[in-house]
Amino acid sequence: MTMHTILQQQYQLVRSARGALFDYCQAISTEDLLKPLRAYNNECMVSQLAHTANCYVFWLANAAMKQQRPLFTGAEIQHFDAVRDIYKEVDQLMAAFLQHFSGSLNEPMPLTRPNGSGLTRSPFELFTHVITHEFHHKGQVVSMSRQLGYTPVDTDVIRE
């Protein structure tokens, strides 16, 4: 099995865990999804999810594939269906990224950080960064919902 195939399979596991989170979030009121929480720098659950989607856009599309894709803004994400829509774009982006780098997943390449400084990383490292970043913020969203009085469901890759 090729590394490309393995990463496609791993991303399907990420999508499955994301699906569990999104199904859970669909049951949270829009008011609560958009409620800023002081403990999270006055961010809300939706802004956390948009931030994560923007991480995919920045690192995979803009930095690695040298595209100029705009980032998602809070103005376009005012209900949960919009969150699902932006992640459909993230899924398409990931497929394009894995295809683009299928023969060079371990080859280091020069990149530019959001602050303009440079670094060198491989596509495999970028893949790992964006999915672990998503899981970090997925945990924050679950914690935020708990602070608002909800009882989270299991959103791990291995669920009962």
Whole-structure pTM value = 0.95
Beta strands 118-121 and 109-112, pairing class: antiparallel
Comparing CA positions, the residue from 135, 136, 113, 140 lying closest to residue 59 is: 113
pLDDT (tens digit per residue) in 135-148: 999 999 999 999 99
pLDDT (tens digit per residue) in 54-82: 999 999 999 999 999 999 987 778 889 99
Homologous superfamily of domain range 3-147: dinb family like domain (1.20.120.450)
Rounded to whole angstroms, the Cα distance separating 58 from 17 reads 22
What residue segments make up the domains of the chain, in order of their start?
A: 3-147
